Amino acid sequence: MNVAKSTKRTLVYRCALLLIGVVNVMPRSLAVFLGAILGQAAHAILIKDRLKARRNLKLAYGDRLTDAQRKTIVRNLFANFGRNAVDILRTKKHYDSEIKNLIDVEGLEHIERVYNRGKGVLGITGHIGNFELLAAWFVKSKYKVAVIGREMYDSRLNHLLVDYRESLGMINIDTKDSVRKIVQVLKDGYILGVLIDTDSFRVRSVFVPAFGRLSHTPVGQSVLGLKTGAGFVPVACVRNGSRYKIVVKPEITIERTGDIDRDAYEMTKKCTHALEEIITDYKDQWIWIHNRWHNRPEVSIP
C-alpha cells in the first residue's frame, strides 16, 4: 500500500472514532440532524454517485418517475444514509435506553412461525433502511442471530464493525469463512441475515429479474437454505419519520423439483421480487448508488 492511501485510510479511521465519540454525547435529535447534514454534504460533493443513483432510478422505473422525483429521491437517500449511520453509531450505548422504543414491527408473526420450527431462518434483506439496526433489534429481542458480511477494506474499521455486532450478541460470519459455519448456525435455529441486492463477482450468482432487468444476484443462500430446510423470510428496517419500522413479509416457498440448481434459481428469483417490492415502497432508502447492473448475461434469459 502506498503512503497516500495509507494516510487516507488512517484519516478515515480517526474521523470515524471522532464521529462515534461526538454523536454518543449529543441528544439523539441533534445527532440525527448532524447525520442528515453530513449526508446532504455528501450529496453535494459526490457528483458521480449522485448521477449514478439517478441513472439507476431511470433504469428501474423508466418514465414512471419524473426527473424532479428522481432528484428528490436521491437527495433524501443521502440524508437518510447520514441519519441511519448516526443511529448505528449510537446503538451500542443507547439501544436499551432510547432506540428500542423507536422501533415498530409489522408482520412479526411470519418470522416467528418459521423461527419456531427450529431449522433456521434466512432473513432475506438488502442495503435498504437501517439493516444493521434490523439485526440489532432481533438479537436484543432474544432471537439467535447471525449475519454474513464482507470484510471491510481497512482492518481497523472492520474491527469496529465486528466488535459492534458481537457486543450486541450476534455472530459475525465473514464471506471468506467456511460454509460449514453457515450451515451450523442454520442447523442451530438461528436467523441468518443475508443481503442479496448487490452485483458481486466474489460470490456465486445467477441472473434473475429485478426492476424489469436481468440482475446478477447471489444464489448461495438459496442453495444452503434449501439443503438445510431453513425458511426464507423477507425483512427490512426502514425509516418511518423520526422512528423505524421493521417490515416482515410472509415466508417464501417454492414447489421443489429435486433439481437443486433449478430450485435455487426459482427461490432467488422470488426472494429478489419480494425485496424489490419493499424497495419500491421506500425508494429513498435503498443504495441506488450501487452499480446493480454491472454484469450482463452473455445470452438472453427468459
Contact status, residue 121 vs residue 277, Cβ threshold 8 Å: no
> Grid cell 448456525 — which residue?
185
* Enclosing H/E stretch for 146: strand 145-149
Q: Measure the N-to-C terminal CA separation of the chain; round to a whole number of Å.
A: 45
- 140-178: pLDDT as tens digits: 999 999 998 777 777 788 788 888 888 888 999 887 777
Q: Read off the pLDDT of residues 236-294 as tens digits, 9 standing for 90 and up.
A: 999 998 899 999 999 999 999 999 999 999 999 999 999 999 999 999 999 999 999 98
Q: What does the alpha-carbon distance between residue 58 and residue 56 come to, in Å, rounded to a whole number?
A: 5
Question: How would residue 300 be classed by pLDDT, with cut points 50, 70 and 90?
Answer: low
Q: Which residues partner with 205 through β-bridges?
A: 218
Residue 27 CB neighbour total at 10 angstroms: 9
Reference 185, options 221, 222, 146; nearest CA is 146
Looking at residue 299, what is its pLDDT?
Answer: 59
User: Which whole number is the average pLDDT over 9-37?
Assistant: 89
Q: What is the pLDDT of residues 1-13, one digit of tens each?
A: 676 777 888 888 8
Q: Does the predicted model carry a pTM greater than 0.85?
A: yes
Q: Which residue has the higher pLDDT, 119 or 156?
A: 119
